[in-house]
Structure 1
Amino acid sequence: MSKHILIVGGGYVGLYTGLGLRRMIRSGEVTVTVVDPRGYMTYQPFLAEAAGGTIEPRHVVAPLHRVLKGARVLTGRVTRISHDDRTALFQPVQGPARTLTYDILVMAAGSITRTLPIPGLAEHAVGFKTVGEAVHLRNHVLAQLAAAASTDDPQVRRRALTFVVVGGGFSGVEALAEMQGLADDALRYHDGITPADLTWTLVEATGGILPELHPDLGRWTVGALRARGVDVRLETRLTSAAGGVATLSDGTALDAGTLVWAAGGRPSPLAADSGLPVDGAGRLLATEYLTVAGLEDVFTAGDGAAVPDLTRPGQFTAPNAQHAVRQAKLLARNLKAYVRGRGLKAYRHAYLGSVAGLAHHQGVAQVYSIRLTGFLGWLAHRMYHLAWVPTVNHKARVLADWALSMVFRREAVQLAAIEHADEDFRRALAADDLDRAA
């Protein structure tokens, strides 16, 4: 009898697990349902380049309907799981909620942005975790440059040209670097503004950035950013964003037209809200076989799971793409074995290293004991991540984007109106109402 596998989440784990089950789907051994709020997988290491304009945003996402042929893909959210009943409450993007039943559950809901109760943060900051936020940020940066070039008010100009990024991890560092690269290219179209007029500040609460890399590479990156005019504030926190003014723990107040919050993530609260076993951080308690401890018919992996790191006893695997993809591939194999009544294999993977792109043909990379900086680090960053882009179609499109960016300058047009596409229509309706009233 065919088993129904419900995969909650369509990120790295959901996508690669589904890909690994394709043969079982075709043979009828299992049916697979994947639930995701957006209906596509986002290759997050390229979000910064999407924000910077070197990669088309559509090329960093993979539509689940197209990639996971044979699986049922539902767009919406699982809001509650009752594992004793083998049911999940599903809220589609439109229409009433309904109940899904399953035989085997794969929890791959991943993580969400970690925020803090900082005054003004919700009103004035933008996150950096989704392709929508990357597109918004690109449009916003270009709009700020245009605003600065179009005003005679020095305060308005100064605010528009002040950019603050909070978070010295990969997301924050790469976002700032790509935004700066985008701005530098766009300035050639705005007379009267030079790179020296722009203020760039990176705020990090700890004593170093890029913590997954060797400290020497973190220090090198700090030096490289400072050489490009970035004010890197270590051991500094954002204490307020009220009124759009970024107030830091060292007393600095920056009237920031752009404030990016990239201070990490936290596990999706779905597991904890559903009564599944979680640790103090809200991660699902996983075994080395990628099952959920103490439960039958439940598997997990990725950012939302505390997976034991067998190469470092007593520790857990880091929440990054490298582990998520490899765990997902093993998870698919273990699901096959589970359905067929065979033994499961433990997850064991020594950390290879990490890479980061810094725009301007600069980057840093650590592969085992090899450390690369500058152009070689940038090249390693691109080649490493290109290898993990999920389909040949998307690999080709990313390569084409890169090739075009080497020949032509980035497009400097901002399409912020797309985010409020009905504004002109509403204004026209209001004008008509006034005309009729007159």
Structure 2
Amino acid sequence: MGERVVVVGGGFAGASVARRLEKLAPTADIRLVCPDDYMLYLPLLPQVAAGVLPPRAAVVSLSRRLKRTMLLPGRATGVDLDARRVLVHSITGRDHVLAYDRLVLAPGSVTKVMEIPGLRESGRGCKTLAEAAFLRDHVLTQLEVANASTDPDERARRCRFVVVGGGYAGVETAANMQLMTTALARRFPRLDPSLMQWHVVQHHDGLLPGMGNRLGDDTRRVLEARGVHVDLVTSLTAADDESVTLSDGRRLATSTLIWTAGVAPSPLVGHLDAATEHGRLVVAADLAVPGRPEVFALGDAAAVPDLATGGGATCPPTAQHATRQAPVAADNVAASLAGRPTRDYRHRDLGLVVDLGGADAVAKPLGFDLAGLPAAAVTGAYHLWALRSPAAVARVATSWTLRAVEGQNPVRLGFLTDRSGRLGEFEHTDDYLDAAQVRAAIAAVPG
């Protein structure tokens, strides 16, 4: 077996690197560190949370796509760059040390949590598959309990849902889940449909700021036409299990606070002994870490120069850029193993799509503004194309067809009833070690 390549992160970026390296470096010993045996397609999580898709539809199996790569079920909690060692915390609870000749870092991102009183304890996210599944069950629980309650205040509190964040994740989550609760009103005859209130709280003066004013205004009109309250230039100042307090002084009684106000690079990056930019690992245009030619990084956790835009810009942390950086990273790892020159990453953004549920969407393909049915068609087609797996495409398309035929019919599964669902519980953001702690932990591992 040849030189060892360790890939950290089993998302579309990391898994695609490993798969391409299987062909480009046939003698390399490739190891993929990932806690789960699947690639998660993040843009579909709001549909999972809303019961439109089953959780299985938003993932692609790693073991089926990777033939020669060894999957290591665990989480990389630290890296000693000088010793070329990765500390891996296995899903069994044990620590392992993994040596490497080349390291590819694609650990992705986590929910960005601000220091707001009560947020960590009372907020819930929608960044992982478990969080999306939990969120669906949580919202269904609120409706069931409200329907059984004789206390009007409790019923109103449990039927109000507050989403903080008016970007892509927040808008898609609120839009899809609002349709779910509206469709479920007939299940609960004791609940007045007017009780089911959704709020989108956005600190910016418009929704979807990256899409432009026109599409942001179109999105707001769609949401408000459904009865969603859109609060712009407003932020969260405090929260507890029964209310949220907003910057305009209002206190809203609610048992559901969904926090989608931004993402942050994986904490792994911030604990490395390497330069970062706004929390992302600084890399050159060929995705190599300056001064560490054996280390490459891509995706949400890397500050990749945007050569197409220029002016010192970096690529936005989107799935589109991550998937297109993967073949460049794989090519450059293979080139470095063979002693060949590397190449730079250059890609112009093809645009963005935002699913608003049902036949509503907004999209900006190649700079053209679309809304309504045309945007919904583009959005659906893009997601099917981006999945890159015939089995995954079949599952998603079948689920969409079933929903169109039988309507909204989500079920509370109850698998996560022993979890609180609080921010960070499913993302393990406290597991990572700094450079000194990593060295000490590696030295303590037997063998």
* TM-score where L is the length of structure 2: 0.90
Deviation at 1:66, TM superposition (A): 2.6
- Can you give the 5+ residue segments of structure 1 that lack an aligned partner in the other structure? 422-438
Determine the C-alpha separation between the residues in 2 that align with 1:401 and 1:228.
24
Q: Which amino acid aligns with 1:3?
A: E
- Which residue number in structure 2 is paired with residue 174 of structure 1? 172
- Which residue number in structure 2 is paired with residue 390 of structure 1? 388
SS of residue in 2 equivalent to 1:200: strand
Deviation at 1:64, TM superposition (A): 2.1
Higher alpha-carbon deviation: 230-239 or 266-275: 266-275
Q: Which amino acid aligns with 1:284?
A: L
Structure 1 residues 15-26: aligned runs within 5 Å = 15-24=15-24
Structure 1 residues 291-330: aligned runs within 5 Å = 291-313=288-310, 314-330=312-328
Per-residue CA shift, 1:376-410, capped at 9, x if unaligned?
Answer: 21121111111011311111111111111111123
Structure 1 residues 237-256: aligned runs within 5 Å = 237-256=235-254
Deviation at 1:218, TM superposition (A): 0.9
Determine the C-alpha separation between the residues in 1 that align with 2:161 and 2:33.
36
Alpha-carbon contact 1:143-1:416 (below 8 Å) kept: no
Alignment of 1:94 onto 2:116:
no
Per-residue CA shift, 1:330-357, capped at 9, x if unaligned?
Answer: 2112222222222222111111110000
Determine the C-alpha separation between the residues in 2 that align with 1:242 and 1:133.
19
- Which residue number in structure 2 is paired with residue 288 of structure 1? 285
Structure 1 residues 176-255: aligned runs within 5 Å = 176-255=174-253
Alpha-carbon contact 1:127-1:260 (below 8 Å) kept: yes
- Which residue number in structure 2 is paired with residue 363 of structure 1? 361
Shift >4 Å, 4+ stretches: none
- Which residue number in structure 2 is paired with residue 122 of structure 1? 120
RMSD value, Cα: 1.5
Q: Which amino acid aligns with 2:362?
A: V
Higher alpha-carbon deviation: 389-398 or 338-347: 338-347
Q: Which amino acid aligns with 2:168?
A: F
Cα distance change, pair 189–242 in 1 and its aligned pair in 2 (3 A): closer
- Which residue number in structure 2 is paired with residue 62 of structure 1? 60
Determine the C-alpha separation between the residues in 2 that align with 1:262 and 1:75.
28
Q: Which amino acid aligns with 2:158?
A: A
Determine the C-alpha separation between the residues in 2 that align with 1:312 and 1:56.
38
- Which residue number in structure 1 is paired with residue 440 of structure 2? none
* TM-score where L is the length of structure 1: 0.92
- Which residue number in structure 2 is paired with residue 157 of structure 1? 155
Alpha-carbon contact 2:164-2:259 (below 8 Å) kept: yes
Identity %: 39
Deviation at 1:102, TM superposition (A): 0.5
Determine the C-alpha separation between the residues in 1 that align with 2:367 and 2:313.
21
Per-residue CA shift, 1:257-281, capped at 9, x if unaligned?
Answer: 21100011111121231212222x2
The number of aligned residues is 418
Cα distance change, pair 203–336 in 1 and its aligned pair in 2 (3 A): same
Alpha-carbon contact 1:126-1:261 (below 8 Å) kept: yes
- Can you give the 5+ residue segments of structure 2 that lack an aligned partner in the other structure? 420-447
Higher relative contact order by CA 8 Å / sep ≥ 6: 1 or 2?
2
SS of residue in 1 equivalent to 2:417: helix
Q: Which amino acid aligns with 2:38?
A: Y
Determine the C-alpha separation between the residues in 2 that align with 1:413 and 1:40.
23
- Which residue number in structure 2 is paired with residue 13 of structure 1? 13
